A and B are shown apart, each in its own frame.
Chain A
Amino acid sequence: MNIAVLALQGAFAEHRQMLQRMGVDSFEVRQASDWCRPKDGLIIPGGESTVQLKLLCDLDLLEPVREAIAGGLPVFGTCAGLILLAKQVEGEAHMRISTMDIVVRRNAYGRQSGSFFVKDRFAGKPIPMTFIRAPYIYKVGDGVEVLAEVGGKIVAAREGSQLVTAFHPELTSDATVHSYFMQLVKRAL
């Protein structure tokens, strides 16, 4: 199994380290030629979604990535990745990857002073969750399963083989969410 990690900007190295600890191979996608490599799943890391979107467009990656996800490639987006995958971001009309039926509020906890750490349940299991200038999901479509809520806000969800978290499991040593994603990848094989 080989997982593509979008490495345009942000905390992609942390995702690769987590996969490495789990014994899963991965590679970085920095341009269209990297995208051509065979892959069983895609991780879109935290960072700034505006930067990642701009680079996806400039590097001619947006359409190929969108098509692959629409075609069933399992994808896991954290924070900025969640924003890129959302069909709708409050107050914004432009397209992103926009493949997941969720409505998202950007910088929903405010600026860096609103960033926080909490232990809460993901798919029933308590795990550490780090929120950095995080978004949250305030509406999900019919086909979307809510996997985590913190303080009444949806912070993790799944639709088919698309998994998103508003928090950063790659910043902790807990592999629960990544293992969950690898289950989705195995199911899609």
Chain B
Amino acid sequence: MKKTENRQELNRNLAQMLKGGVIMDVTTPEQAKIAEAAGACAVMALERIPADIRAAGGVSRMSDPRMIKGIQEAVTIPVMAKCRIGHFAEAQILQAIDIDYIDESEVLSPADDVYHIDKTQFSVPFVCGAKNLGEALRRIAEGATMIRTKGEPGTGDVVQAVTHMRMMQSEIRRLVGMSEDELFEAAKQLQAPYDLVKYVHDNGRLPVVNFAAGGVATPADAALMMQLGAEGVFVGSGIFKSGNPAKRAAAIVQAVTNYQDAKRLAELSEDLGEAMVGINESEIQLLMAERGK
């Protein structure tokens, strides 16, 4: 057996397997089991969900590796974990405990004001947030093998995720419509490498899987993001900050599969109990989406 190494490709492939699925934030092995039983295609292990990070303030860091290992042992689905933007040592630690995907995340306090992690130096895959096409392509150039909208984490308010997804889709459509000789200038304006700009022009999509994240709280939110072009969704605070996490999680999973079937979405939206309270973007002091560009 002669294995050939192309980690970038293998890591993009894992994201392809997550498509049409829901990735859920969990803080304990018990929550991880609830998420898996409800149909999560992966879990994000973290000490505090974004809503609590927002409430607590202060500096927010990578989770305790022991807590992450507990979650790895509890489920068979992939386990992801977050490191701070630019904190390559946290990423090295997460790689050392054999994490399936690292989220270099604006939800945590950034460790570097200028540089993101050079993700090409790692064998572990990375997902990164983006507000627009330029950010997405810069992260992919740095080695990210999956992209998600930033949204506004921990708010239960989907408006930012919608804005970011619409922005990315409209910028993709604009590139597709350009003539070849316009792409060089487009790359300059997007502040992104020409070859990635050319890929988007030729294929009408990002070269990696693109999920929605940040503020998704209901089956309708999930269906909205899928109809806007997301290939799957992350649900953070929306599940375990709600009245009935197991039921809400299962409903969101079904909503992602049958996102165009409004009748079914109506059934799925019934009797879910209290949704997370939510705060609007205009009421919050800290815009996490502005971290890391």
List chain A positions with a Cβ less than 8 A from chain B: 7-14, 30-31, 46-48, 50-51, 54-55, 58-59, 79-80, 106-107, 110-113, 115-120, 130, 132-133, 150-151, 168, 171
Contacts and interface: CB of A to CB of B under 8 A. Distances in A.
Given A50-B36, A118-B2, A118-B3, A112 B20 contact: no
Interface stretch (B38-46, B163-171, B179-187): B38-46
A47 B21 contact: yes
Nearest to B3: A116
13 contacts: A9-B256, A10-B20, A30-B257, A54-B253, A55-B254, A58-B250, A59-B257, A112-B100, A113-B124, A115-B10, A115-B13, A116-B3, A117-B9
Contacts of A10: 17-21, 41
Given A30-B257, A55-B253, A132-B10, A9 B20 contact: yes
Interface string B7-41: 00111011011111100000000000000111111
A106 B76 contact: yes
Given A54-B39, A115-B13, 15 more contacts: A9-B20, A10-B17, A10-B20, A31-B261, A46-B17, A50-B39, A55-B253, A106-B76, A111-B72, A111-B99, A113-B123, A117-B4, A118-B2, A133-B14, A133-B78
A48 B257 contact: no
B90 to A, nearest CB: 17
Nearest to B232: A9
B262 to A, nearest CB: 13
A151 B2 CA distance: 9
A75 B39 CA distance: 23
Contacts of A107: 76
A47 B19 contact: yes
Given A9-B21, A48-B77, A171 B98 contact: no
Pairs of residues from A and B, 7 with the lowest C-beta to C-beta distance, nearest first: A151-B1, A54-B39, A9-B20, A112-B100, A48-B41, A116-B3, A115-B10
A51 B21 contact: yes
B86 interface: no
B14 A115 contact: yes
Contact of B101 (A31, A48, A112, A168): A112
Contact of B13 (A55, A120, A168): A168
B125 interface: yes
A12 B16 CA distance: 9
B102 to A, nearest CB: 10
B100 A111 contact: yes
Contacts of A120: 1
A11 B16 CA distance: 6
A132 B253 contact: no
A51 B13 CA distance: 18
Contacts of A111: 72, 78-79, 98-100
A58 B267 CA distance: 13
